[in-house]
Amino acid sequence: MHEVRIDGETLTIEDVVKVAYNKAKVVIPEKVKARVKACREFLEKLLGKGEVIYGVNTGFGALSDAKISEQELKQLQTNLIRSHAAGVGRPLSTEVVRATMLLRANTLAKGYSGVRPEILETIVEMLNKGVHPIIPAKGSVGASGDLAPLSHIVLVLMGEGEAEYKGKIMSGREAMLEAGVKPIQLEAKEGIALNNGTQLMTAIAAITVYRAENLIKTAEIAAAMSMEALLGISDALDEKIHKVRPHKGQAVTAKNIRRLISGSRLVQTGKEAMEKIGRPHDPYCLRCTPQVLGAVKDAIAYVRKVVEVEINSATDNPLIFSENGQCLSGGNFHGQPIALAMDTLGIASSIAGNISERRIARLLDEKLNNGLPPFLIPPQAKRGLSSGLMTAQYTAAALASENKVLAHPSCVDSIPTSANFEDFVSMGTTAAQKALQILENTEYIIAIELLCAAQAIEYRGPEKLGKGTKKAYRKIRETAPPIKEDRPLNPYIEKLKIIIKEGTLTKELPIS
C-alpha cells in the first residue's frame, strides 16, 4: 500500500487522491510532531503570561470582546465545535470527507496552529482506520473558512456526532470505540484551530482538478474520433497556425489531436474537401477545438497552481509564530483564492461540455453528418421504427443546459455573517461543489460523444482510424459494443463515464 507523508509543505493533489480514493496510509514524520509540540509549548507560555489571544481566551466573531477565564478555556473550545456543527443536507461523499481530513491534518502539521500533537495523531489514526465523520454538504460561506463542515469532523474527534465505519453509520463515540481510537478532550485553542480553514472547499477542489485533467484529455480523444467520423478537415490542426497564436493549451490540444488521428484515412485536407464538397473548412465545433479545449486546459492549469498552494497552507486563525515570539490574527481562512479558481474551473468544464454537445448533435443529424444515417440508426433497422441514438443528444443537451445555470460564479456573491462582523465572505465551498457537479455533468456529455462517435465509425470503417483513435475505439468497444438495435443507452453511458473519471482511455494514448 502507498504511504502519504504529511509535513505541511509537500502534499500533492495526487497524494490527496491516493488517500481519498485508494485509502493510502497517512504517516506523520517525527520532525513534524516535534514542530507541532514546540508551537504548543510556546502558546502555553503566552497563556501563562496572561496574554489575551483571540479565540483562545476570548469569544468568537462578533463576541470577540468577551474575555474568557482560564477555568473556562476547555469549555470554550467544546462549545465552539458543538454550536458550529450546524450543517444541513445530504452527507458528503466518503472520498471528500477523507480528503478534507487529510488536508486538515496537513495544515496542522505546518506547526502554526498551536494544537497538541495528539490532535494531529488522532485525525491521522481516524483516517487510517476508516472512521469517517458524517458531514452535511451545506452550511459553509467560505469564511471563516468551512466552519460548519469542519465542526462536524471535530465532533467525532471528541466522541460525538455521527460517523461511518465499515459501511455503517453510527454515533461518533461508537465508531471511535469500534475502531479503537481514543476520543479527544479539546484544550485551549484547539477547537478554533480545527474548524477555522478552507479544507473542505480545497478537498473538493483537489479532487475536481484531478478529474478535470482526465476529462480534458478524454475530450480531446472524443473530438478526434468525431472529426474522423464526420470526415473532418485537418488543416485547422496544422502546427503553423498555433505557433502564431502561442497559447500553450491550444498548441498542446492541436498536437494531441494530430497524434491521435495520425495515419487516418478518414480526415482530409482543405484542398481535398474543396474538390469533393466545395468548402475548405469545418464548422467551429470541429475547426476551433484546439482554441476551445486549449483554453480549458490553460484554465485547469491555473486552478491546479492555486490548489497546490492551498493544500500546503496554514489557513486557521490566529496563527502562532513561535520563532518570532508572536501570535497574530489574520484572514488566511478566507476562501477567495479557491472560490475564484473553482468558479473558473466550473466555467471551463461547462465550455468543454458545450462544444462536445454540438459535435454530438452534428453526428446524429443526417443533414450535417456527411452521409451517416439519421441518429446513427443501425442499417438493418427500419427508419421510424427505430430511434437509434436520438435521445442521447437530449441527455447531453439537458446536461449542457444545467451546466450553464450552475456556471454562474459564486465568488462574486457575499452575504454578511456574525452580526456584520464577518461582512465579506467567499462562497468558496459553493463554488467548489458547483464545479464538481459541472464536471460530473460534462463527464457524462463526453461519454455520450464517445458512444456516438464510436457508433458513427462503424459506418466509416474502424480500420481507417488513426493510430491513437483506433486504440481508443477498441477500448470503448470493450465497454460499449456496437448498437445493432434499439436498446437502453444508460448502461453504456454510465460505464463510459467511469472510464473517463478514472482516466482509463488516456493512459495508453500519445497525449499530454
Q: What is the pLDDT of residues 164-174, one digit of tens each?
A: 999 999 999 99
| Listed range (55-64, 87-96, 244-253, 298-307) with the worst mean pLDDT | 55-64
| CB atoms near residue 61 (< 10 Å) | 14
| CB atoms near residue 3 (< 10 Å) | 11
Q: How are beta strands 131-133 and 326-328 bridged, if at all?
A: unpaired
- Check pLDDT > 80 for residue 88: yes
Contact 154, 108 (CB under 8 A): no
Is residue 371 classed as helix, strand or coil in its secondary structure? coil
One-letter-per-residue 3-state SS of 23-48: CCEEECCHHHHHHHHHHHHHHHHHHH
Q: Over the stretch 177-198, which tens digit does the pLDDT of each residue have? A: 999 999 999 999 999 999 999 9
Contact 13, 33 (CB under 8 A): no
Q: How are beta strands 162-165 and 88-91 bridged, if at all?
A: unpaired
* Residue labelled with grid coordinates 496554514: 314
Contact 434, 395 (CB under 8 A): no
Most distant CA pair in the chain, distance: 89
Q: Taking residues 12-24, what's their average pLDDT? A: 97
The residue ranking higher by pLDDT, 417 or 498, is 498
- % of the chain exceeding 90 in pLDDT: 80
Q: Which residues pair with 171 in a beta bridge?
A: 162
Contact 214, 506 (CB under 8 A): yes
Query: What integer pLDDT is reported at residue 460 of this predicted model?
Result: 95
Query: What integer pLDDT is reported at residue 428 of this predicted model?
Result: 94
Q: Which residues pair with 27 in a beta bridge?
A: 5
Q: Over the stretch 113-125, which tens digit does the pLDDT of each residue have? A: 999 999 999 999 9
Q: How many CA atoms lie within 13 A of 317 on its CB side?
A: 19
Query: What integer pLDDT is reported at residue 1 of this predicted model?
Result: 60
- % of the chain exceeding 70 in pLDDT: 100
d(CA 485, CA 22) in angstroms, rounded, equals 39
C-alpha 427, offset from chain centre: 16
CA proximity to 81, closest of 178, 200, 201, 185: 185
Confidence of residue 72 (pLDDT cuts 50, 70, 90): confident
- Check pLDDT > 70 for residue 234: yes
* Mean pLDDT score across all residues of the chain: 94
C-alpha cell at 172: 461518533
Distances (CA, A) of 156 to 82, 91, 192: 11, 14, 15
Q: Taking residues 229-256, what's their average pLDDT? A: 96
| CB atoms near residue 275 (< 10 Å) | 11
Active site residues: 54
| Distance linking the first and last C-alpha atoms of the chain | 27
* Residue labelled with grid coordinates 480531446: 220
Distances (CA, A) of 118 to 76, 133, 171: 19, 18, 22
d(CA 207, CA 209) in angstroms, rounded, equals 6
Q: Over the stretch 93-103, which tens digit does the pLDDT of each residue have? A: 999 999 999 99
Query: What integer pLDDT is reported at residue 342 of this predicted model?
Result: 98
- Check pLDDT > 80 for residue 62: no
Distances (CA, A) of 52 to 38, 42, 66, 327, 399: 20, 14, 11, 10, 53
d(CA 283, CA 360) in angstroms, rounded, equals 13
SS percent in the chain: helix, strand, coil, step 5: 60, 10, 35
**Would you call 455 exposed, middle or buried from its count of C-beta atoms within 10 A (0-12, 13-18, 19+)?**
buried
pTM for this predicted structure: 0.95
Query: What integer pLDDT is reported at residue 422 of this predicted model?
Result: 80
CA proximity to 198, closest of 83, 107, 92, 84: 107
Q: What is the four-CA torsion angle of 26, 502, 140, 121, rounded to 10 degrees?
A: 0
CA proximity to 29, closest of 88, 96, 105: 105
> Which CATH class, in words, describes the domain spanning 205-317+331-501?
mainly alpha
Q: Over the stretch 123-166, which tens digit does the pLDDT of each residue have? A: 999 999 999 999 999 999 988 889 999 999 999 999 999 999 99
Rg (CA), the chain: 26
- Check pLDDT > 90 for residue 227: yes
CATH architecture, range 3-197: Orthogonal Bundle (1.10)
Domain assignments of the chain as residue spans, ordered by start: 3-197, 205-317+331-501
Residue type present at position 276? K
CA proximity to 478, closest of 456, 449, 498: 498
**Host H or E run for residue 10:** none
Residue type present at position 357? E
CA proximity to 437, closest of 159, 90, 110: 90
